[in-house]
Amino acid sequence: MKYHHLGIPTQIPLKDEIHLKHLKMYVSGYGRNPYGIEWVRYEADAPYPDIVKNLPHIAFEVDDIHKAIKGKHVIIPPNSPSPGVVVAFIEADGAPIEFLQIDRSIAEPGI
C-alpha cells in the first residue's frame, strides 16, 4: 500500500475543477501539486455516504483491492470510475479511507 492522494471536500466551485458528470462530482488539483492534494465538490444528489462528502479522505494505491478491504467496514464497494481503475472506501475510526487498484496499462496517464 502506498500513498496516492488526500481528498478534501469543498462547497466552493474552483476555477480549474473538472466535472465528472457520471460520478456527480467535481475534482481539482490532483496531479498539479507534489503532495497529491485533490479538492472534491459533490453535486447535491451524489450517491455517496455523508462521511465521504463531508470529511477529508486519504487514498492509498493497493495491488489487490479485495484483499485491502477484506474484513473492513466498507462504505463504498469496489467500483470502476474510469478504465483501469477500481476504487473502494472503508471507514476506519470515523474517517473515510480510499483504496485504488490501478492497471497502468489501461488507466489514463497521471492517475
Q: What is the pLDDT of residues 2-60, one digit of tens each?
A: 999 999 999 999 999 999 999 999 999 877 888 999 999 999 999 999 999 999 999 99
Q: Judge whether 33 lies within some domain.
A: yes
Q: Judge whether 107 lies within some domain.
A: no
Greater confidence (108 vs 78) lies with 78
Cα angle: 8, vertex 34, 64; to 5 degrees: 70
Burial (CB count within 10 angstroms: exposed 0-12, middle 13-18, buried 19+), residue 69: buried
Band (98; pLDDT cuts 50, 70, 90)? very high
- CA 37 and chain centroid, separation: 11
pLDDT of residue 48: 97
Q: Judge whether 109 lies within some domain.
A: no
- Chain position carrying cell 444528489: 45
CATH number at residue 88: 3.10.180.10
Q: What is the CA radius of gyration of the chain?
A: 13
Q: What is the mean pLDDT of residues 73-81?
A: 96
Q: Work out how many domains the chain is built from and give that number.
A: 1
pLDDT of residue 111: 82
Residues 6+ apart with CB under 8 A from 26: 13, 14, 17, 18, 19, 20, 40, 41, 42
Enclosing domain of residue 64: 2-102
Residues 6+ apart with CB under 8 A from 68: 1, 60, 62, 88, 99, 101
Strand 73-82 relative to strand 57-61, pairing: unpaired
